[in-house]
């Protein structure tokens, strides 16, 4: 018996089984999770069982790595048995579909928090940024943000933005990229195209909702405990959600963010103008 958990006490108990094959018999040792009395409380299914960490252990069956609870039951068995890569991250599991960029998120009890739909999944404590990072360009991304509370996912911002970033202090920047493409000759027959993506965003509190109606281009906390920021006064908040420029707008040169004017400001810790 190998002790694999202290409270409650759990052991990895082995049992030798005889398997018949084409060329004779083969003895195999299989393991089960056992209680403090060393009685098995799971089937002898596993080739090995590792130490429990916060109530979850990894166990191996052939080439597959599974996650099990203190009763030896498999967590996310459908995924660990199939064509998925499952990675534990504290109280969460990241699920990635093999041969695809689709990512999903599950809670420690196996509850699916986010279905496998997008290729972006960033987690900071209980805050999640998710959605699609388009291979076409910055302006085609569709990102949102949410948080996890009591084992369930709560959407804070829908995937209507192509720029979302966690700023710290439980604040998220969400907005839209202004993309500029510049073509310069690099040879007699070919031009080099450079792409510049400049974000314009609002700041949201993950816990309370929108904090400021200002549209920012930059913001950072200073050594004085306030914020130094750049704002775009000609950009309206309702222009920041994801949208494609229509043919008519492209023809008339409209439908894009106007970043031609920017102002430098200083805000207090509540993102307010000092009184």
Averaged pLDDT of the chain: 89
CA atoms within 13 A on the CB side of 41: 18
3-state secondary structure of 25: strand
Give the per-residue pLDDT at 19. 76
pTM: 0.83
pLDDT, tens digit, 9 for 90 and up, residues 163-198: 999 998 899 999 999 888 777 777 767 777 777 889
Residues in the chain: 275
Structure confidence at residue 209 as a pLDDT band (50, 70, 90)? confident
Which candidate, 108, 99, 105, places its Cα nearest to that of 120?
Answer: 105
Structure confidence at residue 131 as a pLDDT band (50, 70, 90)? very high
Give the per-residue pLDDT at 137. 86
Residue with more model confidence, 272 or 123: 123
pLDDT, tens digit, 9 for 90 and up, residues 11-60: 999 999 877 766 667 788 999 999 999 999 999 999 999 999 999 999 99
- Whether 95 contacts 110, CB under 8 Å: no
Order of strands across the sheet with 48-49?
48-49, 57-61, 64-68, 74-75
Quickly tell me which residue has 């805000």 as its tokens: 267
Give the per-residue pLDDT at 253. 53
End-to-end distance of the chain based on CA atoms, in angstroms?
68
């Amino acid at each position: 018996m190998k002790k694999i958990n202290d409270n409650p006490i759990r052991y990895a108990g082995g049992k030798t089984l005889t398997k018949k094959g084409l060329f004779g018999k083969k003895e195999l040792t299989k393991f089960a999770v056992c209680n403090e009395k060393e009685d098995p409380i799971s089937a002898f299914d596993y080739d090995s069982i590792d130490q429990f960490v916060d109530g979850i252990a990894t166990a191996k069956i052939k080439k597959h790595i599974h996650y099990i609870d203190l009763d030896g039951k498999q967590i996310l068995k459908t995924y660990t048995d199939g064509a998925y890569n499952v990675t534990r991250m504290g109280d969460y599991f990241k699920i990635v579909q093999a041969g695809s960029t689709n990512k999903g998120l599950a809670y420690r009890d196996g509850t699916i928090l986010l279905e496998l739909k997008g290729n972006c999944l960033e987690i900071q404590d209980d805050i999640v940024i998710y959605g699609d990072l388009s291979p076409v360009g910055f302006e085609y991304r569709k990102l949102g943000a949410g948080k996890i509370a009591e084992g369930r996912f709560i959407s804070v911002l829908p995937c209507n933005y192509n720029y979302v970033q966690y700023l710290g202090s439980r604040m998220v920047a969400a907005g839209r990229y202004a993309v500029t493409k510049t073509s310069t000759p690099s040879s007699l027959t070919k031009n080099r195209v450079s792409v510049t993506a400049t974000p314009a965003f609002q700041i949201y509190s993950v816990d309370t909702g929108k904090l400021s109606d200002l549209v920012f281009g930059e913001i950072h906390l200073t050594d004085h405990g306030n914020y130094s920021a750049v704002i775009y006064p000609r950009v309206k908040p309702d222009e920041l959600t994801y949208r494609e420029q229509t043919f008519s707008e492209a023809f008339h040169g409209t439908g894009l963010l106007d970043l031609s004017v920017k102002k430098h400001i200083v805000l207090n810790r509540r993102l307010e103008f000092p009184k």
